[in-house]
Amino acid sequence: MPTALPAAPAVTAIAPVEAQLAAVTEGMAAVEATEVEVDEVPEVERRLNEKEDDEVIDGTSQTDALHSVTIAKFDDPKLGLPESLIKGLYEMNFTKPSKIQAISLPKIWANRNLLAQSHNGTGKTACFVLGMLRIADARVKKPQALCICPTRELAKQIAEETHRMGKYMLLESGMTVKCILKEERYEKGATMPDQIVIGTPGKIWTLISLRVLDTAAIKVFVLDEADEMLTAGHGDNTKRIRKVMPKQLQTLFFSATWKEETVKFANSLKGSGGEASWAQVTIKRQHIFNDQVKQYYLECNGFKEKEERLGELLSLIDAGQIIVFVNTRDSVESLTRRLTADGHSVSSIHGKMEERARDKALKDFHDAASKILIATNVLSRGIDVPAVTLVVQYDMPVMHGGMYDPETFLHRVGRTGRFGRKGVALNLIENKKELRVLNDIQDYYERKAQIQEIPPTTDPEAMLALLTVK
Ligand code: ADP
Ligand code: MG
C-alpha cells in the first residue's frame, strides 16, 4: 500500500523519434477507422451501496484546499459540466456519483495530478473519461488527451464509454475519439486529428515514433490499471510514452490495486510543479474487496475431479453470465473443448487468439449469446459485463515462478458485483499447492475467515443456493 505522495511530473524534452522509425514502418497500409460499438441504455437507476465510514480515503494533505472537497451530483457548479455532457450522463443513468467520482472529479477539475484507487466496479472510468472530455478543445486538430490501458478489450470498452458519455458533447463540438487497436494502419505522412486517443502502449508508442500521433498538444495523460501498466510487459512502453509528453501535463493514474512500481514511478515524476500538484485517493488493503461479492472455495481431489466438478456446477446454474479464469492458453482451449462437448454454451478468449476472434468472443458473451466465458488473465482487469453473477477461478493466480498473485485474484473477483450489483466468486482448489496460494492471498488481504469453504459433500441443491445471487 502506498504511503508516499509523489511529486510533480518530470520536465522531459521530446525525444528524437527517427531512431525508432525504421523498425516500425514495415507493412503499414491505410485502413478505415475502427467502429465503436455502443451499449444499450440500462433501464434502471443503479445505486452503489457504499458504506458511510468507508474505506475510500482522501489521501491529499489535510492542509490542501481540495482535501475532502466532493460533489454530490454531476451538475454540481464546482464542475460546471456542459449541458450536453450532463445529458449524456443522465442517459446512461448516472444520477449519483460514486465515492471515487465524488472525491476525484474536483481534483481533476483543479488540474491536479492524481493517483486514484477504488474498488472494482465503482466507476473509475467515468472519472478519467470526464477529465479527458473536459480538457479537449475541438478547434485544435491534434490529440490532447491520451489514455493507455493493458488490453484491446479494455481500450475498446473505454472508447465506448467515452462515446456514450460524450454522445451529445462530441456531436455539438465536433470533437473525435480514436481507439487505437493493433490492426490500425496509417499512410506515410498521415497525422491523427482526433482530440481524444485511447489504446494499448505498444501500438501507441509505434504511432508516436512514426509521428502519426503528435504528442505536442497533449494536456492529460491517463493510465488505467496503472499498476499493471508499469510492470513487465507494458512498463517500458508506458515510460517511453510518458517521457515524450509535453512539460505542462496532467497525469492521472487509476486502479483498484497499487504495486510498488506504481508509486515508485509516480515518485520519479518530480519536477517544477512540486508535490502540491499531486493528489491521492487510497483504500486500505483489508477493505479492497467488494463485499457484495460472496467468496467461496471448493477443494477437489486432483485435476480430473476439478474438471468434473466444474461441469456439474455449470449444469446446475441457469441464470446470469459466468466467467471461468484459467492460467494458460492451453487450458482455455482444452476446457472449452470439454465444456462444449458437454453441451454448454461457451466462448473463450486468450492473448494469442486472432483479434477478430477475441472481439467476437467478448461480443457474444456481452450479448449473452454465450453464457460462459473461459479466459486467461487477458480479461482479468477492467472488463465490465454487468450481467456476470459468477466468477470461477479454475486455477489459482500465480506469477512467474509460482508466487501467489493477489492483484490478479482481486481483479478476477471484481468482474462480478459491478456498481452495486451482487455476485459470487468461487475458487476451485485442485491440490495442496493451490490451497496454499489461496491461503497466502487471504493472509495478504487479512481476510482469513471470509472466503468460506464449501464442503465437498454439499448436495446440488445447496450448492446452487450458495452460487446463486440473492
Ligand atoms: P471500475 O473501473 O471502477 O472498475 P467502471 O468504470 O468499469 O468501474 O464502472 C462500472 C460500471 O458502473 C459500469 O457499467 C459503469 O457504466 C457504471 N457506472 C459508473 N459510474 C456510475 C454512476 N455514477 N451511476 C451509475 N452507474 C455508473
Ligand atoms: Mg476500470
| Residue 36: predicted pLDDT | 32
Asked if residue 102 is part of any domain, the answer here is yes
Name the residue of 101, 122, 198 whose CB sits within 8 Å of the most ligand 1 atoms, as the mutation to test its pocket: 122
Same domain, residue pair 235 and 367: no
The CA distances from residue 391 to 106, 185, 294, in Å, are: 34, 36, 10
Give tens-digit pLDDT for 363-374: 999 999 999 999
- For residue range 170-214, list pLDDT tens digits in order: 999 999 999 999 888 999 899 999 999 999 999 999 999 999 999
| Tally of structural domains, the chain | 2
pLDDT at res. 54: 59
> Does position 52 have pLDDT exceeding 70, yes or no?
no
The answer to the question of residue 347 being in a domain is: yes
Give the position, in ligand 1's atom list, of the atom nearest the Cα of 46: 25
- Does 2 reside within a domain? no
Cβ atoms of residues 166 and 182 within 8 Å:
no
Query: Does residue 242 sit in the same domain as residue 317?
Result: no
Residue 49 falls inside a structural domain: no
Which atom of ligand 1 is closest in space to residue 157's alpha carbon? 7
pLDDT at residue 41 is higher than 50: no
266 lies in the same domain as 199: yes
* Contact assessment for residue 120 and residue 256, using Cβ atoms and an 8 Å cutoff: yes
Predicted TM-score (pTM) of the model is 0.89
At which of 257, 284, 311 does a domain end? 284
**280, 330: one domain:** no
Share above pLDDT 70 across residues of the chain, in percent, rounded to a whole number: 88
Contacts 24+ apart (CB under 8 A), 365-368: 365/321, 366/39, 368/321
Nearest CA to ligand 1 atom 19: 123
Q: Pairing state of beta strands 388-393 and 423-429?
A: parallel
Q: Is residue 21 in a domain?
A: no
- Does 256 share its domain with 300? no
219, pLDDT greater than 90 = yes
pLDDT in tens, 60-78: 888 888 888 999 999 999 9
Q: pLDDT tens digits for 261-317?
A: 888 888 888 555 567 788 999 998 888 899 899 999 999 999 999 999 999 999 999
Q: Is the pLDDT score of 246 beyond 60?
A: yes
Same domain, 194 and 275: yes
3-state secondary structure of 198: strand
Q: Residue 294: which of 411, 468, 460, 54 has the closest Cα?
A: 468
Q: DSSP of 207-275, one letter per residue?
A: HHHTTSS--TT--EEEEETHHHHTSTTTHHHHHHHHHTS-SS-EEEEEES---HHHHHHHHH--STT-G
Q: Count CB atoms within 10 A of the CB of residue 233.
A: 12
Q: What span, in angstroms and rounded, lies between the C-alpha atoms of 260 and 41?
A: 38
List the CATH number of the domain containing 315: 3.40.50.300
DSSP label of 141: -
pLDDT score of 34: 30
d(CA 367, CA 231): 33
Residue 301 within a domain: yes
Same domain, 241 and 316: no
Q: How confident is the model at residue 46 (pLDDT cuts 50, 70, 90)?
A: low
Assigned domain for 35 exists: no
Closest Cα to atom 2 of ligand 1: 124
Are 252 and 341 in the same domain? no
Say what the pLDDT of residue 6 is: 40
Contact 100, 123 (CB under 8 A): yes
Q: If you take atom 5 of ligand 1, which residue's CA is the nearest one?
A: 123
For residue 57, what pLDDT is reported?
83
Is residue 435 within a helix (H) or strand (E), and if so which, with residue range?
Answer: helix 432-444
Residue of the CA atom closest to atom 25 of ligand 1: 94
Kindly state whether residues 82 and 208 are assigned to the same domain.
Answer: yes
Which segment of 26-35, 85-94, 286-295, 385-394 scores lowest on mean pLDDT? Answer: 26-35
Count of other CB atoms within 10 angstroms of residue 327:
17
Mutate to test the pocket of ligand 1, among 40, 46, 103 (most ligand atoms within 8 A of CB): 46
Same domain? For 163 and 280 the reply is yes
Summarize pLDDT for 415-450 with one digit per residue, the tens. Answer: 999 999 999 999 999 999 999 999 999 999 988 778
Q: What is the mean pLDDT of residues 144-166?
A: 98
Q: Do 301 and 387 reside in the same domain of the chain?
A: yes
pLDDT in tens, 112-142: 999 999 999 999 999 999 999 999 999 999 9
Taking CB atoms and a 6 Å cutoff, what residues make up the pocket around ligand 1?
46, 93-94, 96-98, 101, 118, 120-126, 384, 386, 418-419
Structural domain contains residue 31: no
What pLDDT sits at residue 442? 94
What pLDDT sits at residue 265? 87
Instruction: Give the tens place of pLDDT for each residue, 317-350.
Output: 988 899 999 999 999 999 999 999 999 999 999 9
d(CA 378, CA 396): 15
Cα 381 to averaged position of ligand 2 atoms, centre (Å): 7
Half-sphere exposure in the Cβ direction for 367 (13 Å, CA): 10
Closest ligand 1 atom, residue 420 Cα? 12
Q: Which of 284, 314, 349 is the last residue of a domain?
A: 284
Q: What is the domain range of residue 334? A: 293-467
Q: Same domain for 126 and 265?
A: yes
| Residue 98 Cα: closest atom of ligand 1 | 23
pLDDT attached to residue 176? 98
Dihedral-angle region of residue 446 (phi above 0 means left; psi in -120 to 50 means alpha; beta otherwise): left
Domain end (from 249, 284, 319): 284
- Cell numbers at residue 112, please? 491536479
CA distance 122 to 255: 11
